[in-house]
């Protein structure tokens, strides 16, 4: 009986997609070494989430593990790689959502939490709320025993230079250029038929006034519903919020009967484009189908399914 149980676990159906941001990702500025490093970061996240799913774990646990891995990888604008705000600090945002019961948790404007996605999970599971912000969110994370790091942990020389350049030019940037959307995320279907999504970001370089984008906003940058799909977005946050992108795709599927790809393409390639919205998203539906659309030059993305799909890509081809 034990042998049969192990065999069942190995053959369970699951799907997982991850992203490390979208935007103007030019081959001309990408060295082979840097591309290999980005791919390694994506593969690490896939491995972290797949380890959970392949052992019969939950989609929520899988997306949390995958996003935490991306937060720990300094090339991505989340966690350790988060960009600097206008006063040289890090203000991070994250969200997670459980499609089985529509439970959700988010944190915004937090500093020094090693893995903001874990704070979002604690908000979902323990706080009785959906979103906590700033010092209050940090205090809650400490009460939950989450790991904190000092400012030196988050210091990345490249990010510091980007901030200094932005300050000198008196501009706010989405990442290292005007159209590089630095966000990480994951979406998953587990063997029990449950969906989940999570997203994390450091936001805009040189951002002011406590600016918050779509990543921690349920329905805008993050959404999961067992009836339809799980989605994590990356793009121009203000326009993704105005379009309620993640929820819009779910609604198109639930109320108009659209397939995952059809709904994603309509929103990303038509509705967003009409208002000047650039970026992309990852999505997994209740059947395990995966969609990774983007209307920018590239998107760091990867996906794996128990059915044999495994891919990692950066550019349109």
pLDDT at 14: 98
pLDDT at 8: 38
pLDDT at 184: 98
Which residue ranges form the domains of the chain, and what is each CATH number?
15-98+156-315 (3.60.20.30)
Report which of 167, 166, 110, 160 is spatially closest to residue 137, judged by C-alpha positions: 110
Q: Rounded to two decimals, what is the model's pTM? A: 0.93
pLDDT at 173: 58
Long-range own/partner contacts, residues 136-141 (CB < 8 A, 24 or more apart):
137/107, 137/108, 137/109, 137/110, 138/110, 138/111, 138/112, 138/113, 141/107, 141/110, 141/113
pLDDT at 174: 54
pLDDT at 42: 97
pLDDT at 15: 98
The verdict on whether 29 is a catalytic residue reads no
Distance CA 282, CA 284 (A): 7
At 22 the three-state DSSP class reads strand
pLDDT per residue of the chain (317 residues) written in tens, 0 to 9: 333 333 334 447 999 999 999 987 778 888 999 999 999 999 999 999 999 999 999 999 999 999 999 999 999 999 999 999 999 999 999 999 999 999 999 999 999 999 999 999 999 999 999 999 999 999 999 999 999 999 999 999 989 998 998 888 876 655 434 455 689 999 999 999 999 999 999 999 999 999 999 999 999 999 999 999 999 999 999 999 999 999 999 999 999 999 999 999 999 999 999 999 999 999 999 999 999 999 999 999 999 999 999 999 999 87
Catalytic-role residue among 173, 183, 199, 201: 183
């Amino acid at each position: 009986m034990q042998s049969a149980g192990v065999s069942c676990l190995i053959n369970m159906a699951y799907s997982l997609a991850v992203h490390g941001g979208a935007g103007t990702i030019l081959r001309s500025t990408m060295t082979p070494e840097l591309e290999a490093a980005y791919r390694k970061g994506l593969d690490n996240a896939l491995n972290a989430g797949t380890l959970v799913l392949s052992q019969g774990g939950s989609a929520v646990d899988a997306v949390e593990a995958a996003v935490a891995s991306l937060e720990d990888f300094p090339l991505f604008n989340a966690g350790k790689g988060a960009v600097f705000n206008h006063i040289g600090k890090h203000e991070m945002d994250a969200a997670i959502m459980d499609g089985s019961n529509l439970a959700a948790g988010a944190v915004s404007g937090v500093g020094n939490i090693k893995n903001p996605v874990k704070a979002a999970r604690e908000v979902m599971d323990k706080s009785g709320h959906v979103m906590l912000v700033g010092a209050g969110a940090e205090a809650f994370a400490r009460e939950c025993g989450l790991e904190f790091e000092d400012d030196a942990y988050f210091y990345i020389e490249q990010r510091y230079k980007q901030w200094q350049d932005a300050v000198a030019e008196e501009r706010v940037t989405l990442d290292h250029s005007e159209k590089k959307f630095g966000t990480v995320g994951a979406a998953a279907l587990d063997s029990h038929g449950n969906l989940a999504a999570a997203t994390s970001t450091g936001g805009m370089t040189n951002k002011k006034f406590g600016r918050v984008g779509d990543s921690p906003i349920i329905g805008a940058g993050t959404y999961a519903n067992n009836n339809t799909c799980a989605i994590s977005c990356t793009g121009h946050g203000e326009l993704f919020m105005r379009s309620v992108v993640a929820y819009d795709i779910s609604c198109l599927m639930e109320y108009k009967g659209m397939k995952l790809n059809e709904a994603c393409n309509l929103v990303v390639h038509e509705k967003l484009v009409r208002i000047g919205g650039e970026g992309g998203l990852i999505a997994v539906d209740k059947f395990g189908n995966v969609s990774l659309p983007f209307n920018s030059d590239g998107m760091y993305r990867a996906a794996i399914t128990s059915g044999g799909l495994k891919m990692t890509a950066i550019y349109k081809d």
